[in-house]
Structure 1
Amino acid sequence: MTTHTGGCHCGNIRLGFSAGLDPSQIEVRACQCSFCVKHGSRAVADPDGRLIISVKDSARLRRYRFGLSTADYLICGECGVYVAAIAGEDTDARAIVIINALDNQGRFSQQPIPVDFDTESKVQRQARRRARWMPVEVSFE
């Protein structure tokens, strides 16, 4: 496993994305929902990997939900950087990481694949995320 680090601009949120694949082999997805389009989001996940999110000041972490309300979109309330999305709770939580928030984002060289999940039901969306997103752990310092 290789760990890719990153975080928000002000340093309040730090990321550690561990993956068994080389970044050039990981599929990059460009969600076409209005939120992701407005952020220029490019997301990755390795279902066999792991994402660790460390937050210094929880008061500056913003969680945003919309649509089917099946995921929390994590944004730094200080600098405004969108870093990840989390679906599920506790040990069942799964996530994607936004490569724009990684330090070595240029190594994720696949062309983003536009994806549109607007026709999914809540059950379908949750099942897809369980299968394609990765385990996540959030810690507060």
Structure 2
Amino acid sequence: MNEHTGGCHCGNVGLRFSTELDPTQIEVRACQCAFCIKHGSRAVADPDGRLIVSVEDEARLHRYRFGLRTADYLICRDCGVYVAAVTSDDRNPRAIVIVNALDDRPLFSREPVAVDYDAESREGRVARRQARWMPVEIQSAFNG
């Protein structure tokens, strides 16, 4: 497994993205919603991989929801870095990781594919994320 680490700027949120794929093989997506455009988001996921998000202080992690409210967009309250998005289904959580929050971001060199999901229904969005996003575990200092 290849492991890519990173996190927010102040260190409150850490990331560990594990995948068998080489970074040059992974499709980089540039969502065209207003939130992602304003953040310059470039996201990746490997349905066969795994993301671990570690949080030092949960009170400093903001979970922003908008639109169809099917995902939490994880943003550090202190430094403002958008690190990942996680489905709001706690039974089978899935995630994308934001390339800009990874330490080795230059390795993800594929040109981002512009994607627009505005026409998706709630059911379609949930199904796409279950199929294309990766398993995620969120660990806090309290549940380790």
State the partner residue of 2:119. Answer: 119
Distance 2:49 2:111 in 1: 21
**TM-superposed deviation, 1:137:** 0.0
CA RMSD of aligned residues (A): 0.7
CA deviation map 1:103-134 (0-9, x unaligned)? 00000000000000000000000000000000
Equivalent residue for 2:128?
128
Paired position in structure 2 for 1:89: 89
TM-score scaled by length of structure 2: 0.96
Cα deviations by residue, 1:32-91 (Å, 9 ceiling, x for unpaired): 000000000000000000000000000000000000000000000000000000004334
In the alignment, the residues of structure 2 paired with residue 57 and residue 69 of structure 1 have an alpha-carbon distance, to the nearest angstrom, of 24
The unaligned stretches of length 5 or more in structure 1 are none
SS at match of 2:18: strand
1:1-141 map, 5 Å:
1-141=1-141
Aligned partner of 1:80: which letter? Answer: G
Mapped partners of 2:35, 2:117: distance in 1? 13
CA distance in 2, matches of 1:93, 1:52: 11
The DSSP-based 3-state class of the residue aligned with 2:135 is strand
Partner secondary structure for residue 70 of structure 2: coil
Aligned residues: 141
SS in 1 for 2:106: helix
Unaligned runs of 5+ in 2: none
**TM-score of the superposed pair, with normalisation by structure 1:** 0.99
Give the whole-Å Cα distance in 1 for the aligned partners of 2:94 and 2:50: 9
What secondary structure does 1:120 align onto? coil
Instruction: Give the superposition deviation at 1:18.
Output: 0.3
Amino acid at match of 2:56: K
| Cα distance change on mapping 1:18 and 1:91 into 2, 3 Å | farther
